[in-house]
Structure 1
Amino acid sequence: MTCAELLVRLLRDIYGVNTLFGIPGVHTIELYRGLEDSGLRHLTPRHEQGAGFMADGYARTTGQPGVCFIITGPGMTNIATAMGQALADSIPMLVISSVSRLDTLGMGQGRLHELPSQQQLMSGVARFSHTLLDANTLPDVLARAFALFHGARPGPVHIEIPIDLLAAQVTEPTQQTRPMLYRPAPDPEGLAMAAAWLRTAKKPLILLGGGCVSAPEAALNLVERLDAPTVTTINAKGLLGRDHPLDLGANAALPAVRALAQEADVILAVGTELGETDYDVVFDDGFHLNGKLIRIDIDPEQLARNQPLALGLVADAGRSLELLLEHFPEHVERGGVDRTRSTLSALALHEDPALSPFVPLFDTLREIMPDAILVGDSTATVYAANHLVSQPAPRRYFNASTGYGTLGYGLPAALGAALATPGLPVVALVGDGGIMFTLSELATAVEERLPVVILLWHNHGYEEIRRYMDNNGVSRVGVDILPPDFQKLASGFGCQASRVTSPTELAQALADRPSDGPLLLEVDAAAWQQAITRQH
């Protein structure tokens, strides 16, 4: 058995991997020999960045690591952006790459795809990056990667295998079963103290982040028993179900929620970084907590970041929610529903001029595709959806406006989500600027016959940056870019496409969407705004 064949066997039989993303290259053909008759599904994106984003979307939807096979050098620099986004959002991703022969590592001989130190470069966008120096140590390195995915704060892991080791003969490992691994639970004394503070609080507030998505039932029950207004961040949408009366949504950066946060006497923050793109998206450092802050996070360093801490518990978010719930067998009345309702009324999101044009768009999506997973780029529709959209379950809303904030994420990540959940519809929310970064993945969508709706908001350039330039007195340079004819481009890929200018046209197009391939719906922002204005 070769090292490459063993890798495929371990991924499939020990770690339950069934889908791989990658573009074959001369340095990785031995990996593909290992794929022969393996039963694993391999998808070929059109760019390594697309491979990484697809793996990201797959992982966010399933909770399992997305796995990529990537070539040496340019393949790795191409996927680095996707790894950066996954690192920022704590998404499990396993990137297996080739690297130069053992005897040429670091020699600077101008070999094909050579980097001075590929491992050093990738370690900056990975939880760890490892160079395999002995083929027989592969099982141990893989075990280390999956232990991190399931027992610590997840993120990308990079394992590079020298091209001469891929074909090296290996000894079949004696350990053929995956060990059981349980994530850390909170310290009982600390948990009891947190419960005591929450029990006596007059105005509690809960902040739930993406780390909680594995325990929606415990999160819902705890929120209801504490009767506490709750911020569910962008990556935590759906934790409490759709339109829950205690859910403030991902609106922590807005004035009414900030006021509520400042008056809270005890705050419980679970599985959330308390980072800028969730709590300070207006970028004025205006989110302040004056009460006693209890934080639960699997990463001890995270407990010391962003807000002053009163009590910290290093533990898995989901397990902590379950154990904390045991301290509250009965509902504690604190007027939480009224406080939440009052805060949302003050926000008046549907009347906000910046958001109101998008209200009928998301109302239409909800009416026609109520169970859809929404996957977004950094684009106007996503910025609005972060505030407006409520989902029925977790793992059905994610985008690249958080953390790293890359462009080009929406389309390939939506394809990964569609592969992972063939029973649920998927909508990619993209803009005319961002989609150009990964437009080639339309070919992958067509080839794999993935029924993803690509909702393209066309505002003729980089609208957000235009607005920033205007607000800061900077002349518009580089933002009014020439758009292509997206209808012709989609047709060239073999993708159905049409233009919509009103909610009625959108509803009809969604109702008539194909079931065996992608559909690109181009929404002209100016025409949409005119249609909405006429309706009112």
Structure 2
Amino acid sequence: MTQTIGEALVRRLEAQGVDTVFGIPGVHTVELYRGLAASPIRHVTPRHEQGAGFMADGYARASGRPGVALVITGPGLTNTLTPMAQARADSVPMLVISGVNVLSSLGRGLGHLHELPDQSALAATVALDSARVTTADGLAGAVDRAFARMAEGRPGPTHIEVPLDVAGQAHDAPMPPPSAPQQPTEATDRIAAAADRLRRAARPVILVGGGAAAATGDLRRLAERLDAPVVLTTNARGHLHGHSLVIPASPSLAPVRHLIEAADCVLAIGTELGQTDYDMEFTGCLPRFPGLVRMDICREQLARHPADLTLHSAAAPGVAALLAELENHEARGQSGAERARDIRERAFASLTAEQQAQLALLNAARDALPNALMVGDSTQLIYAGNLYYDHDRPGGWFNAATGYGALGYGIPAAIGAALACPDAPVLCITGDGGAQFVLPELMTAADENLPVIFLIWNNHGYGEIAVSMEGAGIEVVGCDPTPPDFALVAASCGMPYALCAETPDALAEALRRAADTRGPSMIEIRTAKMTRKTEPSP
């Protein structure tokens, strides 16, 4: 029998290597589901379309392949806009496929179910591209363009919509195999010019962002060849774990900023030099970047921050080309390892005692769960780790506390990561506040029997916000939502639960026990409320 456009869409996703989609079926997407039952693609059902988007995000970060969400028109798409915005801010490849009302009704305001004035235009405010499939001939091109946009330039979310009266139409158009994406590589003379600047530097520093994920081995070799300290942004943690040249600390910390500003050549690879990495205190002042050489896959991004020399290249081929140019280079000047050690010590000393204690917990968790994916929400443990934490898996530390900063990210993103990497331990770190945004998604982990450990950092409210309000001289309002009984939440989801003391040894033991169980589990750490000048009335 002739396949429908909905069935052909599933086949095209298969051709693009998709093995998992996250979605909630509805009357506006039933025809898009027609081909899924017979497909090897795994369908995972979240409890909310926002969860579908965050699961796709976590899947993409853990696997390096685009995550795919399948949602209904109208509220399904608008519920997914927050995850799309997070993915746009953090350069995460995500394809959102939605239904839309019948072609003849679009833009006419006829009061149809789930109607929006212009759904595609709304999606385009955060998506790299938003396309509408109106004929069988246009399907393969729309899908292939979406995947090309995510692979050939700076990654991010894309959107395809299929009208109700189009999805069920016959599809007999030819669909040749997708072409391989072509990533940019810089011209040889510019690579040579960059290598010459680095060769002459006595105090080089390398800044590494999330865009360098595919260049791990060559990054280490380049750093060693240049004898250059390597500063890792939040989304780059895990590169050069334990290496003498690594500085797994935020470039917002004063000692790290001093290192950068004292350099005579700064090589920035795959980092947007944005505020949430380089100016966490929101002073409005980024560090100076002397002799800046910038490598990035996105030409527009290169134009947003002036540099002495720009290299329009994906990280992996660009770093490999630099290595080749520097093949016989011998570093000179002050020892890079000594400079890195000094900054590590000073950066750690600049943290508060409370933050240092929280880092001890993270280090204990890392050692108890080697090579784990640690997926986080905006909560105190994550804030501390984003300031200073050396993870042992490249790309294995990620959260939504930078960039767009969407709360409720951790639980669904950890589910997506577990599906992408079934052999890796997955630890979700979320606060009591962030968890309450998405508690129903715990049932998705239960349905899929995923061995995710959900660590709830329960400080009984929005402590960081309360302290910020007091610091601004504002009476605290709205920062004391009562958390649920997480033991009962875990029981309702059929998962083991443990209450853990706030010590490294206790956490390590609780994690080892949880790792020995099948399926998801929950650990709760109940901390004291953050110190407040005034407490709310009982």
Give the TM-score category using the shorter length. over 0.9
Query: Match of 1:203?
Result: 203
Q: CA deviation at 1:201?
A: 0.8
Paired residues of 2:366 and 2:391 also in contact (CA < 8 A): no
Find the aligned partners of 2:507 and 2:249 in 1 and give their Cα distance: 26
- CA offsets per residue over residues 54-106 of structure 1, 9 Å max, x none? 00000001110001110010001111100000010111101110000011111
Cα 1:478–1:351 shift into 2, 3 Å: closer
- Decide which moves more: 55-64 or 28-37: 28-37
| Uncovered stretches (5+) of structure 1, i.e. residues with no partner | 530-536
Please tell me the residue identity of whatever aligns with 2:47.
R
Asked if structure 2 preserves the Cα contact closer than 8 Å seen for 1:442 and 1:495, the reply is: no
Which residue pairs with 2:320 in the alignment? 322
* CA displacement at 1:134 relative to structure 2: 1.8
**What is the SS of the residue equivalent to 1:374?**
strand
Please give the per-residue CA displacement for 1:213-263, whole angstroms capped at 9, x wherever unaligned: 0111111111111111111111111122x1211111132001111111111
What corresponds to 1:157 in structure 2?
A: 158
8 Å CA contact 2:502–2:526 kept in 1: the answer is: no
Secondary structure of the residue that 1:88 maps to in structure 2? helix
Q: By how many angstroms is 1:518 displaced?
A: 1.1
Q: Give 1:64-213 correspondences, 5 Å limit.
A: 64-175=65-176, 177-213=177-213
Q: Which residue of 2 aligns with 1:534?
A: none
User: Quick one: which amino acid aligns to residue 97 of structure 2?
Assistant: I
Partner of 2:303: 304
SS in 2 for 1:181: coil
* Alignment match, 2:46: 45
Aligned residue number for residue 532 of structure 1: none
Q: 1:470 to 1:43 in 2, by over 3 A?
A: same
Secondary structure class of the residue paired with 2:370: coil
Secondary structure at 1:355 match in 2: helix
Instruction: Select the residue among 512, 516, 522 that pairs with 1:520.
Output: 522
Spell out the pairing of 1:63-462 with structure 2 (5 A cutoff): 63-175=64-176, 177-240=177-240, 242-305=241-304, 307-330=305-328, 331-334=330-333, 335-349=335-349, 352-462=352-462
Partner SS for 1:268: strand
Q: SS state of the match for residue 326, structure 1?
A: helix
Once the two structures are TM-superposed, the CA of residue 393 in structure 1 deviates from its matched residue by: 2.8
CA-based RMSD: 1.6
Question: Aligned-pair distance for 1:526?
Answer: 1.9
Output the TM-score relative to the length of structure 2. Answer: 0.95
Of 354-363 and 94-103, the range deviating more from structure 2: 354-363
Shift in alpha-carbon separation, 1:316–1:351, aligned structure 2, 3 A: closer
- Cα pair 1:24 1:32 within 8 Å, conserved: yes
Does structure 2 conserve the Cα–Cα contact (< 8 Å) formed by 1:264 and 1:289? no
* Distance in 1 between residues matched to 2:174 and 2:464, nearest whole Å: 54
Deviation digits for residues 8-30 of structure 1, max 9, x if unmatched? 01111x21111110000011111
Are 1:2 and 2:4 an aligned pair? yes
Could you tell me how far apart the structure 2 residues matched to 1:142 and 1:397 are?
30
Q: Determine the C-alpha separation between the residues in 2 that align with 1:4 and 1:93.
A: 19
Q: Which moved more, 1:244-253 or 1:111-120?
A: 244-253
Distance 2:30 2:60 in 1: 25
Aligned amino acid, residue 521 of structure 2: L
Q: CA deviation at 1:136?
A: 2.1
* TM-superposition CA deviations, 1:412-451 (whole Å, max 9, x none): 0001111111111000010000111111101101111111
Secondary structure in structure 2 of the residue aligned to 1:469: helix
Q: Distance in 2 between matches of 1:515 and 1:138?
A: 44
Q: Which moved more, 1:477-486 or 1:80-89?
A: 477-486
Once residues 155 and 349 of structure 1 are traced to their aligned partners in structure 2, the CA distance between those partners, rounded to angstroms, is 36
List per-residue Cα deviations over 1:300-319 (Å, max 9, x = no partner): 121132x4311112121221
C-alpha distance in 1 between matches for 2:467 and 2:104: 53
What TM-score comes out, normalization by structure 1 length?
Answer: 0.95
Q: Secondary structure at the match of 1:228?
A: coil
Task: Please say if residues 209 and 236 of structure 1, whose CA atoms lie closer than 8 Å, have aligned partners that are also in contact.
Answer: yes
The residue type equivalent to 2:321 in the other structure is L
Q: Is 1:32 paired with 2:33? A: yes
SS in 2 for 1:8: helix
The structural deviation recorded for 1:485 is: 1.1
**CA contact under 8 A between 1:350 and 1:356: conserved in structure 2?**
no
Equivalent in the alignment of 1:480: 480
2:226 partner amino acid:
L
Q: Deviations over 1:435-481 (max 9, x none)?
A: 11111101101111111111111111111111211211111001112
Say if 2:460 is the partner of 1:495. no
Q: Which moved more, 1:287-296 or 1:49-58?
A: 287-296
Tell me, in whole angstroms, the C-alpha distance in 1 between the residues paired with 2:257 and 2:388: 17
Encode CA deviations 1:324-350: one digit per residue, 9 max, x unaligned: 111111442431111111111222349
The superposition leaves residues 318-377 of structure 1 with CA deviations (integer Å, 9 ceiling, x where unpaired) of 210110111111442431111111111222349632412213311321221122110001
Structure 1 residues 229 and 285, CA gap change in structure 2 (3 angstroms): farther
SS of 1:348's equivalent in the other structure is helix
In 2, Cα distance between equivalents of 1:243 and 1:68: 36
Task: Specify the code of the residue in structure 2 equivalent to 1:432.
Answer: D
CA contact (8 A) 2:359 2:381 kept: no
The residue that corresponds to 1:508 in the other structure is 509
Letter in 1 for 2:152: G
Q: In 2, Cα distance between the equivalents of 1:348 and 1:439? A: 34
Say if 1:93 and 1:156, in contact at 8 Å, map to a contact too.
yes
Question: 2:374 & 2:402 partners in 1: Cα distance?
Answer: 15
With over 3 angstroms needed to count, the CA separation of the structure-2 counterparts of 1:139 and 1:406, relative to structure 1, is same
User: Mean Cα displacement is larger for which, 489-498 or 228-237?
Assistant: 489-498
Matched residue type, 2:263: A
Q: Indicate if the aligned counterparts of 1:253 and 1:281 stay in contact, CA closer than 8 A.
A: yes
Asked whether the equivalents of residues 399 and 409 of structure 1 are also in contact (C-alpha less than 8 Å), the reply is yes
Amino acid at match of 1:411: I
Q: Which residue type is aligned with residue 3 of structure 1?
A: I
Unaligned ranges ≥5, structure 2: 532-538
- Correspondence for 1:533: none
**For the residues of structure 1 that align with 2:228 and 2:354, how far apart are their CA atoms?**
29
* Matched position secondary structure for 2:353: coil
Question: Does structure 2 retain, via aligned residues, the 8 Å contact 1:349–1:387?
Answer: no
Q: Distance in 1 between matches of 2:287 and 2:460?
A: 37
Question: How much has 1:290 moved relative to structure 2?
Answer: 4.9
Take 2:529 and 2:523, find their aligned partners in 1: how far apart are those partners? Answer: 14
Q: Which amino acid letter does the alignment assign opposite residue 269 of structure 2? A: V
The change in CA–CA distance for 1:90 and 1:455 in structure 2 (over 3 A counts) is same
* Structure 1: distance between partners of 2:351 and 2:83: 36
Following the alignment from structure 2 to structure 1, what is the Cα–Cα distance between the partners of residues 124 and 195?
Answer: 39
